[in-house]
Amino acid sequence: MNPSPLTPQRTNADALAVFARWALGAFFVYMGMSKALHPEAFLKLVRQYELVGSPFLLNSIAAALPWFEVFCGLLLVAGVAVRGAALMVVLMLVPFTIVVVKRALGIATARAVPFWTVKFDCGCGNGEVLIWKKMLENSFFVLVSCWLMSGRGRALSARFSLFGPGVARPETTESVPVATAESSESSKLPLP
């Protein structure tokens, strides 16, 4: 099967995918570094969500998560294991968004204010944000990550997936021998 020819639409889509991959990766490197450079502030923000009771787990999450974000961002920028890195971004963003929305709903209920006016520091590294804007941002990043997982963003990649393409079977034009009654009779072995 021949690859489709390069068309202006295809090259534009490839360029957009590369730009999206770089932007998403740079965003995660920036956010991860902003958390990693201020671990005590990030630990306090993680503690506010009250997800983990164990101090060891809480400290482990606060210490490892920023560096994991940086790692995933660098993979996306470099174009190494793009599908896997995009999957990890989705697996980080979806639960984080759910937890932020849950906390925002709690704040909206406690203060008796509309949800779209709730503003707090969610721990993303940007300071206080309007939560509806953070939800839109995270939803956009999830969509971009899913788009990258679908196979986009291969251009300018060091290695798109960790496992290369499957072993391709060469296509041959040789005909398959047809079994005849004589050959099937001679291939039967007597049973002991």
Give the 3-state secondary structure of 40-64: HHHHHHHHHCCCCCCHHHHHHHHHH
Q: What confidence tens digit (pLDDT) does each residue in 6-25 have?
A: 566 667 878 888 899 999 99
| Percent of the chain scoring above 70 in pLDDT | 75
Q: Are 158 and 106 in contact (CB under 8 A)?
A: no
Q: Is pLDDT larger for residue 105 or for residue 153?
A: 105
Question: What is residue 172's predicted lDDT score, i.e. its pLDDT?
Answer: 46
The whole-number average pLDDT for the span 27-37 is: 93
Model confidence at 177, pLDDT cuts 50, 70, 90, reads low
Does 61 map to a domain? yes
Question: Is 114 a domain residue?
Answer: yes
Task: State how far the Cα of 148 lies from the Cα of 13, in Å rounded to an integer.
Answer: 12
Identify whether 92 is part of a domain: yes
More confident residue, 159 or 167: 159
Question: Residue range 50-59: average pLDDT?
Answer: 86
Domains identified in the chain, total number: 1
DSSP state of 167: P
Residue 185 maps to a domain: no
Predicted confidence at residue 118, as pLDDT, reads 87
What pLDDT sits at residue 41?
87
Comparison of pLDDT for 171 and 88, the residue scoring more: 88
Q: How far is CA 17 from the centre of its chain?
A: 14
Q: Is the pLDDT of residue 151 over 90?
A: no
Residue 65 is part of which domain span? 9-162
Q: Does residue 160 contact residue 154 with C-beta atoms inside 8 Å? A: yes
3 belongs to a structural domain: no
Q: What is the mean pLDDT of residues 103-123?
A: 87
Residue 112 lies in a domain: yes
> Residue 98: pLDDT above 80?
yes
